[in-house]
Amino acid sequence: MTRIIAPIARATLLEAARSRMLWLVVVLLALSLGVAGFLGQVAIIEAGEIQVTIIAALLRAAGAFLTAAFVVMSMVREANDKVLELMLAQPWPRAAYLFGKFVGFSTAAALLAVVLTLPVALLAPTLGTLLWGLSLACELVIVTAMSLFCVITLSHVVPALAAVLGFYVLARSIAALQVIATAAEASAAWTDRAANWIVQAIALVLPRLDEMTQASWLVAAPPDAGALTRVLVQTAVYTTLLVAAAQFDLHRQNL
């Protein structure tokens, strides 16, 4: 199956290199450096910490959006151009096509993480920057897997992209929602208790993206081995589950 997956992955990478996403990344890097310079001028105290914290947050969010948008629009374009039907009509398993696309998209996401780490490297310590970039790559791989699952299931750009971004925002904010729901449970209302149970149940199935790619790694101590291990384990587990779900949904579709 490797001889099938590799060409599909290379074609996906070539599509990423030729797409307008590269221009968007260049514009994003220029804007991030401009924002960093502006913050350095207006900040009264701790200018360096403020610069790197805001820039890291902007680059992380932009990386997730660009990854999701590229995966969703690429897959929808292939479906509309009948390329998907042609590929799946070939005498190979559908899983080979899906894994090839995932490898290509994931490689592009990892390269995007490397590029987005460059502005951070100018403002933060080396070790913290390297671990932040590694965590960003893991985060974008999860976004890639979720994007593949959503676009195969929903088939259209807007609902698929909305589902991915909703998933990302929820996974990023679930810790805060848990705190709010736990505090509300102190009241006697059954609705508050039910809301807390629902939030806790959702938290059990979501990846803890709030624990990944933290700006505090760049301004304070870098993550320890335990935190880095949790990042890698979450990436492996959720990527496997999402790709398996996407493969199941692709297999049952009649194209």
pLDDT digits (tens, 9 = 90+) for 89-141: 777 777 888 888 999 999 999 999 999 998 888 877 888 889 999 999 999 99
Long-range CB contact pairs, 11-16, < 8 A, 24+: 11/104, 12/74, 12/100, 12/101, 12/103, 12/104, 12/105, 12/107, 12/108, 13/104, 13/107, 13/108, 15/74, 15/104, 16/70, 16/104, 16/105, 16/108
Q: Is the pLDDT of residue 254 over 70?
A: no
**Residue-wise pLDDT tens digits, 197-214:** 787 777 788 888 888 888
Whole-number pLDDT of residue 13: 82
**What mean pLDDT do residues 222-235 have?**
89
Question: pLDDT tens digits, residue range 13-57?
Answer: 888 888 777 777 778 777 777 776 676 666 555 666 777 888 888
For 224, the token pair is 């320890």
* pLDDT of 62 above 70: yes
**Residue 144: is it exposed, middle or buried by C-beta count within 10 angstroms (0-12/13-18/19+)?**
buried
Q: Are 126 and 221 in contact (CB under 8 A)?
A: no
Q: Whole-model pTM?
A: 0.88
What is the DSSP secondary structure assignment for residue 211, as one 8-state letter?
G
Q: What is the pLDDT of residues 136-190, one digit of tens each?
A: 999 999 999 999 999 988 888 899 999 999 999 988 888 877 777 776 655 556 6
Do 120 and 132 meet the contact criterion of CB atoms below 8 Å apart? yes
Q: Which tokens sit at 121? A: 């490297």
- pLDDT tops 90 at residue 237: yes
Structure-model confidence comparison of residues 136 and 78, the more confident one? 136
Position of tokens 């974008």?
A: 140
